[in-house]
A and B are shown apart, each in its own frame.
Chain A
């Protein structure tokens, strides 16, 4: 009995971690700047490639993963300064610009690196509950997802940067008038978003085949989590991921992965009909 329950939790945790890690970076960028970063998948890919590259050079996996997140974050800052910054007044065009960037990067990588490079295996290790054995690394991923959520909470609710960032999110003009350097806040936020995307790639790098187009496997999940979460990222993303993970876990268990994904999409389409503002709109109303 306990084993069955744990098995259910394990499946939930697996999907939940994937949704949170895939969408956290996208959600922060959207929440702060109102921009959907279409190159989000490419930052994930970047994180994965840097991780594998460093591990193949002999760097221990956890260090390589942290370094990969930092590299992706720094590239994110550059992308913000040179491209995204020009589009805050035209958010729809930012979608196109980042999509153009995404095409350039994926296809450019295919040209330069080729289709697949030698990956690294999933760290071994498993544990048993009752008659079932589970992969330890999947639990590590879940722990990382929870840590990411907690970290975002601390950063935005408990630090000076967080206060200024939330002020900028609420009213950029007023924040600027009060002395906040909104330009720098935006650059840092975009960097954090890209860094979290890089972290996602870094964490999943050992579990999947590395190809330049791998970002595409993450973006559907990250899009739908952000859409269901709604405008208030701090409130919406975690419940959205929880809801979607439940839907997906139930469908995966009975019908398999692909129906799970399609069912999740249907759930999202129904949700936007009922709650166009996303889950955060109810939660925000409750809070008032």
Chain B
């Protein structure tokens, strides 16, 4: 089981990579000791979005389904967490609210995915149908300002956003600040390693085979639709995890985290980083989130213009992603000697479809 962490579908399988990985992890664990709690809180905020990016990497990079609906599931889970946390009344039940809201998001993905995948929607139409659903959800939530829009006493509040839910808690202890940061680091570690195992497992290889050529995979006897649906549900559930954590972090969520331009952000992170690799997505998304937040302090519009420019530059200059491309170039130079290195040769290219 554990040996699936390394395999043909992930880059960074060598000893050097894992030493660097441990070093980064050690720095991440030690970080709160050297920073003030405000910075730690901000840092956790970047980490919240990583799940959504990893989920999109799975759906799009590995599964070949161009989903523009990550914020749809983000929003469903974010609002679900808010409603559930209010209804169930805080305390340790918030953990249950988190789990349930992620499941609700995954269930929504199964329903939407069923209609699209069984209807053989693929390519661009997959993107625009998911985006249409996303924007419709944002419009819908935007007009829920009236008092009649409440679920069990939890007001949705339209564009003003939903508030009043408890953050994640164990008994009387609120998971905020530094504890929240450690929960984030642990969750990312678990999700990242689990996804590596998933994509390197036999299931993961089928998912990649479907991306390369759905017809061929079908001829080999795989029910393409089931694999695609599972991939879509897992990736969208991860977007849901981001959403629920986001609501818990700020005890607040508005429709603007669902609609445009929010819906474009996961696409930018993952495209820029290198969608066909989990590690590139992890590193690149974090860097972009950090950069975006730094510029947003001065001007949010300027930061978004930059994101748009990065997306345009990525597809024009390096369609496989900048972080991924740079990593390939560096590791190619380091190894140089016996030409095509094994993982690269086995690795299937994502482009062309």
Contact = CB atoms under 8 A, between A and B. Distances in A.
Interface of A: 36, 83, 86-87, 90-93, 95-97, 99-108, 110-111, 213, 216, 219-220, 223-224, 226-227, 258, 261-262, 265, 268-270, 272-274, 276
B132 A220 contact: yes
A220 B261 contact: no
Interface stretch (B13-21, B199-207, B216-224, B296-304): B296-304
A95 B314 contact: no
A92 B123 contact: yes
A44 to B, nearest CB: 14
B189 interface: no
Nearest to B136: A265
B304 A213 contact: no
A258 B143 contact: yes
B3 interface: no
Interface residues of B, number: 49
Given A258-B139, A276-B120, A96 B305 contact: no
Interface in B42-87: 66
Contacts of B88: none
Contacts of A265: 132-133, 136
B187 interface: no
B135 A103 contact: no
Contact of B312 (A83, A91, A262, A274): A83
B287 to A, nearest CB: 18
Given A227-B125, A227-B132, 17 more contacts: A83-B312, A87-B315, A91-B123, A91-B124, A92-B353, A93-B315, A96-B315, A100-B308, A100-B311, A103-B304, A106-B261, A107-B261, A111-B301, A223-B131, A258-B140, A269-B112, A274-B119
Nearest to B138: A216
Sorted from nearest, which 10 A-B pairs have the closest CB atoms?
Answer: A103-B308, A100-B311, A100-B312, A104-B308, A107-B304, A273-B119, A272-B119, A111-B301, A223-B128, A93-B315
A220 B353 contact: no
B299 to A, nearest CB: 7
Nearest to A109: B301
B301 A103 contact: no
B264 interface: yes
B100 interface: no
B351 A90 contact: yes
A227 B315 contact: no
Interface of B: 66, 112, 114-116, 118-121, 123-125, 127-129, 131-133, 135-136, 139-140, 143, 259-261, 264, 267-268, 271, 299, 301-302, 304-305, 307-316, 319, 351-353
B261 A96 contact: no
A111 B114 CA distance: 41
Contact of A86 (B121, B139, B316): B316
A220 B132 CA distance: 5
Contact of B66 (A92, A103, A213, A276): A92
Name the residue among A100, A265, A274 with the largest chain B CB count within 10 angstroms.
A100
A7 to B, nearest CB: 24
A226 B267 CA distance: 22
Nearest to B118: A273
Nearest to B302: A111
A227 B310 contact: no
14 contacts: A91-B124, A99-B267, A99-B311, A100-B310, A100-B311, A103-B304, A104-B305, A106-B261, A107-B304, A223-B129, A226-B128, A227-B129, A258-B139, A265-B133
